Amino acid sequence: MKSIFIAFDQAYYDQIIALLSTNHVRGFTEWESVKGRGSKTGEPHFGSHAWPSQNSAIITIVDDVKIKPILADLRDLDATSKQMGIRAFVWNIEDGM
Amino acid sequence: MSLYESSVRKPVMTALIFIGVVILGLFSLNKLPIDLLPKIETNTIMVMTTYDGASASDIETNVTRPLESSLNTVANLKSIKSTSKENRSIITLEFNYGLDIDVVTNDIRDKLDLVSSFLPTGVGKPIIFKFSTDMIPVIMLTATADKSLPALYQILDDNVANPLARIKGVGSVSITGAPKREIQVFVDPVKLEAYHLTVESLAQYIRMENINTPAGSMDVGSETYSLRVEGEFKSAAEINKIVVGSSDGKTIYLSDVANVNDYLEERNQKSFTNGIQASTIIVQKQSGSNTVEIADAVQKQLPIIQKNLPPDVKLSVIMDTADNIKQTISGLTETVIYAFLFVVLVVLFFLGRWRATVIIILTIPISLIAAFIFLGATGGSLNIISLSSLSLAIGMVVDDAIVVLENITTHIEKGSRPKSAAVNGTNEVAVSIIASTLTIIAVFFPMTLITGAAGILFGQLGWMVTIIITVSLICALTLTPMLASQLLQLNPYRSKMFNKIYSPIEQFLDGMDSKYATIVNWSVRHRKSIVAFTTIFFILSIIPAKFIGTEFYPAQDNGRIALTLELPIGTRSDITIEIAKKMTEQWKKKYPEMSMINYSVGQASSSNVWGSFQANGSNLASFSIGLKPLSERKRSMFEICDSLRIDILQIPEIRKSNVIAGGGMSMMGGQSTLDVEIYGFDFIETDKIASQLSKGLKNVNGLVNTRVSREEYTPEYQVEFDREKLASNGLNINTASNYLRNRINGLTASLFREDGQEYNIKVAYAPEYRQSIEAIENILIYNSRGQAIRLSELGKVVERFTPPTIERKNRQRLITVSSTVSGTTLDKAVEGINVELKKINIPSNVYVTIAGSYKDQQESFGDLGTLLLIIVMLVFIVMASQFESLTYPFIIMFSIPFAISGVVLALGVSGSTLNMMSFVGLIMLIGIVVKNGIVLVDYINLNRERGMGVIRAVVNGGESRLRPVIMTTLTTILGMLPLALSNSQGSEMWKPMAITVIGGLTVSTMLTLIIVPTLYTMFAASGIKRQHRKNKKLAALNQANKLDN
């Protein structure tokens, strides 16, 4: 079991949910608005006057085999627009109930 | 979920809500009446009291004064004016606007009830009229008759006037020039004397003979019959056969001492239309009621009325005021449509996308139609004000939608899906469009708070624009994102054809952006020269202000002229008619523009409401002239009036004349008048000043039509009875004067009934026996002992002069010297009057003041000036709260002085004046011009927050905001262009407002685009320098601390 943390421009929300379900992911946890800035490029997402856009974040715990296709799909989606930005990170999950 | 989010997620709901609004709006529009101006509840009430036989000064002391002192205590009274003339006292009470006139009327009625018992006996009951004298007729009809002429008055009164008077809103229906039938018994005084008869005894005989008596009932056999004596005259000829006495055993018949005529009233008003004698029927409305509705109702009734008339009586409409209103409104509707088209073109030009254009344009009909719901709900109408506010708003309603759509497009171009782009894009700009809409509301909402006459006009403008702009904001926050999410696509397909047309435009716009960036780049680096240049420009541009005159309301060409000619007092009516006829013939040839010339001459009867308020008399001819529609003539109404005034001067018989362009319509529309009011009790003193002044005013350039309100003194014969002689003969003044009156004026003996109508039977001396002083002196007066005494033995007949009218205002006698302003402006005319007034030596008990349009203008300009200050503060407050700063609003406020430069230049170039309408235009400008500054400063701030340096932020911000600024400015300017250019009926009214806004906005936008970035850099630079100094100080302090340690 691994977890994927996806931070993305709010505008991607519908597509990311669709992407997860095509990859047979049912469960996830979402934060509707989070703020942040990329380490190298991309616009900051601060929800401020200067940078009005905001991010959402989703964390989902999936089987190890699903990680690769999901990341591949996310990369494709990110490629459609450089300015909005999607980032995903994977952790190991020790245990759960 | 926010407003825009839910509307994007629920497109069906959003669409249907707006469709619902549109349906409701169209439904209201369908029911809206048409009128010239917003409904104005009357603020004048007139109280008319008759006292037959009293002279002007009698009326003043016995009727007017007691009534005035009682009415003066009515609450909210603004001014009280009165005219006392022979037989009649007219008191006009003016109240503040916005009162419930019914309550006021009741108050007045109460006061009148209180005072009526103190009035002399013989004074009629005071009648309250809820309309003012200057109300022009709504519709004028003529009736021509052939055989029915003798009965024409009765026919018209029953069949035309009565049904018309029942129409809702009709104030009065007056018949002029239809003589009334009367049975006249003209007595020969010599024969009367010979037979020892008197006028009174003849009247008594006639009364006794003209009687029907029910004598009870009787039973004959099994039936009951009623018994009656039918003594009433069946024909006028029967009166001849009345036995009035006997002399030497011979019976004396009435025909022996008198002539019985079945004829028409002796003194009546004759009326002519286009040279043909016809009776005129004048329909006046109650103030506040709808002209078009009344006129339409009258027009609808006419065919029905015509059917009920005898075949030889022909009715025709000679003037319908509603035509003018309808033309004005249709002209204005045209400008609204043109404005719409212009705005569509501008949006399409800048966006180059059909779908985007449609989304933006949809806000126009929705917001405008929503305003109709407001009008329908508040009982408003389609009038000059409501329609010109639509025209004003068209260019502004798209602004918010443009900003929203532009941002959504940017998001889509960044790769966002339309739905999320719509939500996020709207979210980003929501606050700033709300703020910029608030600045517009900060301008228009305070307009709803103005009081007085101006408040009624601009109150509606304020409400309309506030509602339209609010709806457009709601539209921009809900409908625009919803439609964008449904209709917009990334990289839409462009046909070759489209590319061919649009790429040059695109290149031009790009070129404009970069050119502007270069200019801004230069200006921010040459800040001092820019500031110097703009200051010099501002100072230079203000100079023409000296040459711009002021006015109250622009004069409006409604194609109607009212004209009064006054011949020397006492001129017989046939001579007056002859001159009027001659003038009509002459004018018909000289002015082909005249479509109708109607005039009436003579004394109006007391039942003629319209006539009795007009000046009337045998020496007066009152004309009412209708001109062809504006499009069919070259000369304006004012040119024709000026020319008429010259024509009239050429006729030596005419003593005085008054030519009123616009037909004396109330409130606005006509030419401005300037009244110099001279208050003072002494007639001789005030007369002297008035005549000096009116002579002096002839030298003042641009003042025409100067006239003195006090009419010429009428010569009159007064019978001075000697009380001692009366007493020794057993007589008193009352009896003696009644004898006199019965012989000259006549005594109504009885009523002659025919076909259900009643006609007076009047006994009087035959006309040939009342044409000399001797005839009066020979009148025999009988005392209670039956002795006859000649009037010459009881007193003497002397000739005196008395003023025919005594005018008072606020319970003081006054005389008004009024003149019309033509060819100059109000302020210059006032200057001229003041110069003339200085030349006249005014005694201390006489008080002179300038009133008329000037006073109204001064009051209204004062109100608008205060409003301007309030609005400037409100706009500042809105901006300061949005930016959370005092500096930025201050910078943006610099666009206001340049708006003023623009206004001065535009008014100067177009030769317009500063009047109420252009003043309102100036007020509106404050809200409109700061919008550009807000957009610029907001984006520059954004750039700085994103980490750009000051100069880069300014140049880049300017470059990227140029298009939205130019686009919203162009939509506003082009939206007003049809208003400024229109030449239709009534365009004089709204033209100055549109010219003001266009001029101010153009100049201000051009300079704002330079001065705001420059000033921004200046303030930011000094801010940064201050920061640097602070930092240096801190560093030095730290250094010192370290050293200490």
pLDDT single digits (tens) B384-414? 888 888 888 888 899 889 889 988 888 888 7
Helices (H), B488-547: 496-525, 527-542
Strands (E) located in B231-333: 243-247, 250-253, 258-264, 270-273, 276-277, 279-285, 314-320
Residues of A in contact with B414 (CB under 8 A): 81, 83-84
- The token pair at B912 is 């317009």
Nearest 5°: the CA angle B849, B852, B856 is 100
Angstrom distance (rounded) from CA B64 to CA B46: 12
- Residue B859: name the closest of B73, B78, B37 by CA: B78
Residues of B in contact with A17 (CB under 8 A): none
Strands (E) located in B51-191: 77-85, 88-95, 127-129, 139-144, 170-176, 181-187
Q: Would the pLDDT of B666 be above 50?
A: no
- Residue A8: name the closest of A77, A90, A92, A91 by CA: A77
Residues forming a β-bridge with B814: B679
Q: Are the C-beta atoms of residues B177 and B279 closer than 8 Å to each other?
A: yes
pLDDT of residue B667: 45
Angstrom distance (rounded) from CA B600 to CA B564: 10
Q: Are the C-beta atoms of residues B1007 and B534 closer than 8 Å to each other?
A: yes
Lowest mean pLDDT among B129-143, B175-189, B321-335, B858-872: B129-143
Q: Are the C-beta atoms of residues B840 and B727 closer than 8 Å to each other?
A: no
If you write DSSP's letter for every residue of B590-651 in order, what string do you get?
A: H-TTEEEEEEEEEPPPTT-HHHHHS--EEEEEEEEEEEPPGGG-SS-HHHHHHHHHHHHHT-
Residue B134: pLDDT band by 50, 70, 90 thresholds?
A: very low
Q: Are the C-beta atoms of residues B804 and B86 closer than 8 Å to each other?
A: yes
Q: Which residues of B touch A (CB under 8 A)?
A: 411, 414-417, 419-421, 424, 427-428, 941-942, 945-946
In chain B, what percentage of residues exceed pLDDT 90?
18
Residues of B in contact with A49 (CB under 8 A): 941-942, 945
- The token pair at B299 is 């027009």
Lowest mean pLDDT among B111-115, B472-476, B582-586, B766-770: B766-770
Q: Are the C-beta atoms of residues B678 and B687 closer than 8 Å to each other?
A: no
Q: Would the pLDDT of B877 be above 90?
A: yes
Q: Are the C-beta atoms of residues B80 and B71 closer than 8 Å to each other?
A: yes
Is B420 close to A14, i.e. CB distance below 8 A? yes
Angstrom distance (rounded) from CA B970 to CA B972: 5
If you write DSSP's letter for every residue of B144-166 in order, what string do you get?
A: E-STTGGGHHHHHIIIIIHHHHT
Angstrom distance (rounded) from CA B968 to CA B351: 12
Angstrom distance (rounded) from CA B527 to CA B535: 12
Angstrom distance (rounded) from CA A61 to CA A82: 27
- C-alpha distance from A83 to closest chain B C-alpha (Å): 6
- Residue B917: name the closest of B987, B870, B972 by CA: B987
Please indicate if any CB of chain B lies within 8 Å of the CB of A15. yes
Interface predicted TM-score (ipTM) of this complex, two decimals: 0.80
CA nearest to B428 within chain A: A52
Residue B606: pLDDT band by 50, 70, 90 thresholds?
A: low
Q: Would the pLDDT of B755 be above 80?
A: no
Is B419 close to A10, i.e. CB distance below 8 A? no
Q: Would the pLDDT of B1002 be above 80?
A: yes
- C-alpha B147: how far from chain center: 42
- The token pair at B706 is 């100067």
Contacts of A43 (CB under 8 A, 6+ apart): A51, A53, A83, A85
- C-alpha distance from A81 to closest chain B C-alpha (Å): 5
Please indicate if any CB of chain B lies within 8 Å of the CB of A80. yes
By CB atoms closer than 10 A (0-12, 13-18, 19+), residue B1030 is exposed
Q: Would the pLDDT of B904 be above 60?
A: yes
Residue B53: pLDDT band by 50, 70, 90 thresholds?
A: low
* Strand order across the B258-264 sheet: B258-264, B181-187, B757-765, B747-754
